[in-house]
Amino acid sequence: MTETELEQLKYPIGKHAYAGALTTAQLDGCLNDIAALPGKLKKEVAHLSAEQLDTPYRPGGWTVRQVVHHLGESHMNAFIRFKLALTEERPIIKPYMEAAWCDMADNRHMAVETGLDLVAALHARWMVLLKGLTAAQLQRSYIHPEYKKEYSLEEAVSAYAWHSNHHLAHITELKKKNNWK
């Protein structure tokens, strides 16, 4: 496998790019993408066998099961980061080791339905928060110490919409490649 092919498998929709202030239409699109993830994710994994769920989306990558559980964990952290940014001045958030979390027994073996339920419940609650944000609140921010970067909530909305579609594409592209229904 070439480096280009591996990069395409890692980033099937490309890397996240935030060009600055989102238009109302762009923000609405991001919110729609985040809101739609639970239903799309459930639809894509509903008919997969245990063997298919335990197939990595790329060589050395996570399995479909791990991707589902990762989405819940990542977006749970995002939800907390949003709450911190809305209640504190430029908080420094706690990063976590995504790969190590994904390698834990719950992510490798737990029923995918549990992960789907977490994503659905979390997104239902997160969307109430996101849809209620004012323009001023979208400019509130948190600091990510690992990246040494300050993220506005608007940029974070953009990043998590991309993140939703990014991991969904890992699953849909694997299904296409293997001709899974």
Does the residue 8 lie in any domain?
A: no
Q: Would you write out the chain's pLDDT as a tens digit for each of its 181 residues? A: 899 999 999 999 999 999 899 999 999 999 999 999 999 999 999 999 999 999 999 999 999 999 999 999 999 999 999 999 999 999 999 999 999 999 999 999 999 999 999 999 999 999 999 999 999 999 999 999 999 999 999 999 999 999 999 999 999 999 999 999 8
Indicate whether 173 belongs to any domain: yes
- Judge whether 19 lies within some domain: no
- Is 32 a member of any domain? no
**Whole-Å CA distances, 179 to 48, 173, 174, 175:** 12, 10, 8, 6
- Owning domain of residue 82: 37-178
pTM over 0.75: yes
| Residue 99 belongs to a domain | yes
- Residue 136: inside a domain: yes
Going from the C-alpha of 102 to that of each of 73, 96, 108, 128, the distances in angstroms are 9, 11, 7, 28
Q: How many domains does the chain have?
A: 1
Q: Which CATH number characterizes residue 90's domain?
A: 1.20.120.450
